[in-house]
Amino acid sequence: MYGIAKERPVSFSIRTGISKKDLFVGLLIAIYVSDFMSLSQYVPFVLIPILARYLVKAKMDIFMFSTLAVLLSFGAMYSLMMYFYGYIGIKEAFCFVLFPVFLYIFGQRVAHGDLNFRKTIFYLVVILASYVAFGFASLLNTVKVFGSIDEASAFLQGRYVISIWDNRLISATLLNTTVSLGLALLPILFFKARGYQVSRKFKMFTLISFVLSFYTIMQLGNRTGLAIAVASVLTVWMFSEGFNSRKAIRMFNFFILGMILWFLYNRNLLGLKEKWEGTLLASRFEDEGIFGDSRTTAWKEVFSGLFAHPMGNKETVISLRYAHNLWLDVGYEAGIIPFVLLLIFTVFTLLSLRTFVKSDQPVLFKKLFIAMFTAFFITFMMEPIMGGAFTYFTAFCFIAGMVQRRNADYKYGKINNA
């Protein structure tokens, strides 16, 4: 349905490229990431037969097994401490232990032997489309109820949207997780590589996903989303291919173009400066900067508190309800042991991405995974993930499993992208 090809674009067909089983599982994944009718707490258990069959047939190398062991240990320790402190019940504890592992293994299963990336791109599209559709639809639902986002913010006393499924309130910071991956697709719109073309269907999907995601963050004044869009372009450009004279010339041209645009902006060409300064996003940048003093203060407080209160339990006094950082929130709530285990898992995933980028894999997928990892890590740095967007973390585990399986298959000669 979507994909890349040498010399000419290829349009992958769902009927011939994706099995009925994958279509059914894809529907389950869409239900899971969008939390349709609050069914996300049950969907991963449906994957157990598929995962068991994969584990019996497939082999993991030592690096994949180590990553799985660390992820399982993190989930077990985090759940144990959170349950012991009374923050979660037994059902939530099982979810925190099992779901990241299930999605990590399922990511491996999808990528294993996927010679032409058909299943890989299918599941990525399912996840991206489901997240973006849910976030944008929830924004429209809020506008439908209140007439505008400004009216909604005034009535709800904060930046919230109403879920399209059950009308529960979702904060703007958490809604950012649903559109972050769509924002990261910006550099794919400008993808060019010798011998490769992106199919029109995939470019159209990329364009629609980005536009809907960008509109959502502009309406909500979300600074993190804007940072993701900019950072994804920079990281893809810097790390997907080696540095050469052509890239140096482009860097200089972009610098000159940026200076010209900045000059025209300050001259208020076409009223752009006036229009920008009238947006909610501009006012939030002016009031709090990119990160916001409150978040950076909370980071310092929690990090210092890890040494004074290594067992967590929220004993450190902080200025916010959360640290707004995946790793620090884990340490703040559950202590330094889950914090360290999560850091190790993070390092393993970054090493896997580095191996993937350095290997002879298709350039499009190098750029795509770099962009998605950028979105994940910026969101992890800025938002309370485990307490509000747990499925987003498990989606990251799914992507990490795909990358590691692809690396292993490539290493042992089971795939050939030449």
How much is the pLDDT for 3?
39
Residue-wise pLDDT for 333-358, tens only, equals 999 999 999 999 999 999 999 999 99
Most confident range, picked from 34-38, 336-340, 384-388, 414-418: 336-340
Residue 297 is predicted with a pLDDT of: 87
Higher pLDDT, 232 or 4: 232
Closest C-alpha to 4, from 188, 129, 186, 180: 188
Over residues 291-302, the pLDDT tens digits come to 556 888 889 999
Sign of CA dihedral 408, 411, 412, 415: positive
Give the HSE-up count for residue 13: Cα atoms under 13 Å, Cβ half-sphere.
2
Question: From CA 158, how far away is CA 189, in angstroms rounded?
Answer: 34
How far is the C-alpha of 56 from the C-alpha of 59, rounded, in Å? 8
User: Nearest 5°: phi and psi at 364?
Assistant: -55, -45
Nearest-CA neighbor of 395 among 50, 87, 190, 129?
Answer: 129
Q: What is the pTM of this model?
A: 0.87
Residue 416's pLDDT is 44
